[in-house]
């Protein structure tokens, strides 16, 4: 009996040590990732981000502008041969205008879709202050080049990040969500990281694999803390 008790205590102690070490390694990876982006102090000083890009959809290029007001609003405008598609998410909801889908006036996003995209409001990405935002992060493995961290938001949405073991920058993110009763998965790869004039490091190349189409995005110009009128995030009547 004593041997059994000693064995149980030893197993429990070992498990607790391994669990603690695992948790510390996750926090260490996240910390090094934020340092690679410029550091928490620098990121905390970012109020707005404006990105001018080119979006390639099946060989057709379209100019795009993205506006981010940290924690408050995200708006993307893409111009396809004079047809403008707008997607906007705020801390309280979201809306879209998509003439290609037959919607020429602003239409409110379903609540679940708006909540799923709310992570785009966070400068520094969802890993920045994830615990404060009600999310949790766990290590789910690694391959020859990347750590794999799974973030689960307070709303239950999951994102798996592949973080480069050498640079601690994100190589790939896999988003999982449900919409209209269907499970959807989106894969985004990031490349060509560069330091902006502000010192914040961002990817200048992205590839977004959607269920029916792949988007190739090239950032042309990034401005940090440029003044943005909050009114641009309000849904037109």
Over residues 28-61, the pLDDT tens digits come to 999 999 999 999 999 999 999 999 999 998 888 9
Is residue 213 very low, low, confident or very high in pLDDT (cuts 50, 70, 90)?
Answer: confident
What SS3 state is found at 102? coil
The total number of residues written for the chain in this structure:
237
Residue-wise pLDDT for 109-142, tens only, equals 998 888 888 889 999 999 999 999 899 999 999 9
Cα separations (Å) of 127 from 23, 63, 90?
Answer: 15, 29, 19
Quote the pTM value.
0.85
Chain Cα centroid distance, residue 25: 21
Give the list of residues 6+ apart from residue 236 with CB closer than 8 angstroms, or none.
97, 105, 106
In the block, which residue shows the tokens 């003439």? 99
Which helix (H) or strand (E) is 21 found in, with range? helix 2-37
> How many whole angstroms separate alpha carbon 142 and alpha carbon 149?
9
Residue 14 belongs to what domain range? 2-233
Cα separation of 11 and 113, whole Å? 44
pLDDT of 146 over the 80 cut? yes
Specify the number of domains making up the chain. 1
Nearest one of 184, 205, 200, 223 to 51, comparing CA atoms: 223
> What CATH number corresponds to the domain at position 20?
2.50.20.10
166: confidence class by pLDDT, cuts 50, 70, 90: very high
């Amino acid at each position: 009996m004593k041997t059994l008790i000693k064995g149980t205590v030893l197993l429990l102690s070992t498990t607790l040590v391994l669990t603690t070490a695992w948790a510390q390694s996750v926090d260490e990876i996240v910390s090094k990732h934020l340092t690679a982006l410029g550091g928490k102090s620098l990121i905390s000083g970012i109020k707005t981000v404006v990105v001018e890009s080119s979006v390639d959809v099946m060989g057709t290029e379209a100019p795009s502008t993205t506006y981010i007001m940290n924690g408050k609003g995200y708006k993307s405008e893409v111009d396809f041969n004079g047809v403008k598609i707008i997607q906007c998410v705020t801390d309280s909801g979201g809306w879209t205008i998509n003439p290609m889908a037959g919607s020429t006036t602003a239409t409110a996003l379903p609540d679940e879709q708006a909540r799923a995209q709310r992570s785009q409001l966070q400068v520094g990405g969802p890993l920045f202050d994830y615990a404060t935002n009600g999310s949790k992060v766990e290590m789910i493995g690694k391959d020859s080049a990347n750590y794999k961290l799974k973030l689960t938001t307070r709303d239950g949405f999951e994102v798996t990040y592949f973080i480069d073991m050498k640079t601690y920058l994100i190589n790939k993110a896999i988003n999982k969500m449900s919409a209209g009763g269907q499970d959807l998965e989106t894969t985004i790869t990031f490349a060509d990281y560069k330091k902006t004039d502000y010192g914040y490091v961002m990817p200048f190349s992205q590839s977004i694999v959607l269920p029916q189409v792949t988007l190739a995005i090239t950032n042309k110009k990034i401005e940090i803390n440029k003044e943005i009128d909050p009114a641009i995030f309000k849904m037109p009547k």
